[in-house]
Structure 1
């Protein structure tokens, strides 16, 4: 015979409505009572019928994650795995499950978001990337559906987003390289339509201006977030008549590809060229030489994103539009002064 909510209530010495509130993570229930009820549920092997519950409460306790395109880049980049780790951990501790969706083009992505919303498959959505004139943001705003963006939207300053100050971070990196004596500093970006690429390029440009160094278009390169793309870009850099003495990469995996290509071409890092990355992934420490990078608090970003989304789902009066996670510059052996020994 199946265990019912009444069986749980009787053994826990509470009312069935209290058990129901515990299952729903109702804030009115004390932690002591919640622990007691959940212990009884475990002892009796009781599993709530979430589908039936969702029909009554119109909630699913599911959170949707829209993964960025293309998927092959996603699984090569530790930035996304660490963000997702933070999201999953916080969601699980808050009683939510995760649904992920990815696609190969913008139309497929928009249709996937539409299915999640129209089918009421999730209570809220996390967008893991932002671009200009993003149709997903426009659609979710129109439907008044709870969502949080990881990154910054150029078009909608009022939406809830979790991000770093990428302009300030890139500016600080570039300024440090200038202080070391570098005057020829390259920048390897991600796709220019991404807001994160624009912001980090802006920070780089501002630091050059502040340092009295002319901005050179031939020192800025667009690529993908993969080692292969970074190696191809580096081959272009090496063809320059006057090569940079330092290169800022949009991401650690890009920095890794740059270093690999430099070594393949007989150049030493950092003696012949300093290299800096972003995100401070484990790859930065495993690479030889270890890569200087910006720690952007990826795990914390994931957790903060879920916390903000749940507050929007529950309508807890959450009004903060942009949540900024502090960054930290981590300097390692991939950077030195130009024409000096490491």
Structure 2
């Protein structure tokens, strides 16, 4: 049998197994070696067949993990499913003119979102705004990864199988890009990254100007007379944490104040989604860090939950906030009813604007596939009860 017919035969057989449910969405196909043995063909033949499946949108190729099924039908058919209330990647031109309203019988586009987590401190405002923005002109499916990188790949596959026309994605790490995401970008599929950035990857992103926020927080403490300022962050490997640290370092440099890397603690793990470390374990380590550095009179905490732990750590070594130690953090939930909640001086992010920009970017990419726009939204310093002039 000619080689061309061989790889077409393997492609057709695997496609039939996927469509028939033998290899359901999320399942890994047999290894290339196993397929070579089963079909009695060469490695090149199997590779060509798998490449065809990937081009059709049935699978994604994952380094070290194999080939994973992401859809039970080809991309072209997913794009033609508008009558069922969903819309796929091939329908993007339908929405270029903005005909997203339901009054003329047009089907609303379907967007998907994969978030790590959310609460009333951070994330809730973004999600609320995304839902409000899509209420009248699109449908939105939200999935939670809880910081599991492997789950992200599967969730993206589920959303593609559901026929989404665009993806909003909050990755658990900025150091590695899910292969499924790279495949979407190669196809000019609408994708917007939330609250993160990927260096060197041409993908739209909406996040806060975390460098400016970190710098403003640190400069506020310097203005209060503090000269030994510590930094406490999570163990998360995301650009957000690094950008806030960059702002902290730049503020020291701009004011000519020495900075010591030993004044930084980057091991708070319990605040990250899916963590197995307990808050009590983090508190014990953080308390020891605070006890060992009595010269530090102020801290920048990279998020509100860390600030709560840090305040407890200070109390454990008989240091009051803000009498002995000042703390500035990022984000804090609004105390709409309970005015007894301790209000930290914090950097407020424009979460509602972030959610609005994400949806706007998805619609923009429907009209102009492949367009890449980066949004770094401004932050603001909100004074609270956690900071005071150095005695």
TM-score (structure 2 length as normaliser): 0.65
1:308 aligned onto 2:361? yes
Judging changes above 3 Å, is the alpha-carbon distance between structure 1 residues 157 and 279 closer, same or farther for their aligned structure 2 residues?
A: farther
2:219 aligns with one of 170, 175, 187: 175
1:295 partnered with 2:295? no
Q: Equivalent residue of 2:143, what SS?
A: strand
Q: Who is 1:163 aligned against?
A: 207
Shift of 1:99: 3.2
Q: Cα distance, 1:188 vs. partner?
A: 0.8
Give the Cα–Cα distance (whole angstroms) in 1 for the partners of residues 328 and 214 of structure 2: 10
Question: 1:88 Cα shift?
Answer: 1.2
Q: Secondary structure at 1:293's aligned position in 2?
A: strand
Match of 1:82 among 125, 139, 143: 125
Return 5+ residue gaps in structure 2 as ranges.
Answer: 1-93, 272-277
1:338 aligned onto 2:390? yes
Distance 1:26 1:85 in 2: 25
Q: What is the Cα deviation at residue 326 of structure 1? A: 1.7
Matches within 5 A, 1:99-118: 99-102=142-145, 105-117=148-160
Q: Which residue of 1 is the match for residue 113 of structure 2?
A: 65
Q: Which one of the candidate residues 379, 384, 387 is aligned to 1:327? A: 379
Question: What is the root-mean-square deviation in Å for CA atoms of aligned residues?
Answer: 3.1
- Deviations 1:193-214 (Å, cap 9, x if unpaired)? 2100110001101111222222
Q: Map 1:7-18 onto structure 2 (within 5 A).
A: none
Q: Paired residue for 1:123, among 160, 165, 168?
A: 165
Q: Deviations over 1:25-52 (max 9, x none)?
A: 8967799xx7xx58xxxxxxxxx8xxxx
- Which TM-score applies when normalising by structure 1? 0.73
**How many matched pairs?**
287
Work out the CA distance in 2 between the residues paired with 1:263 and 1:93. Answer: 49
1:167 and 1:201 in contact (8 A); partners too: yes
| CA distance in 2 between partners of 1:304 and 1:190 (Å) | 26
- Equivalent-residue separation in structure 2 for 1:101 and 1:269 (angstroms): 35
Q: Distance in 2 between matches of 1:300 and 1:225?
A: 28
Counterpart for residue 300 of structure 2: 248
Shift of the 103–278 alpha-carbon distance from structure 1 to 2, 3 Å rule, reads closer
**SS state of the match for residue 210, structure 1?**
helix
Report if aligned partners of 1:269, 1:289 keep a CA contact under 8 Å in 2.
no
Q: Match of 1:338, SS?
A: coil
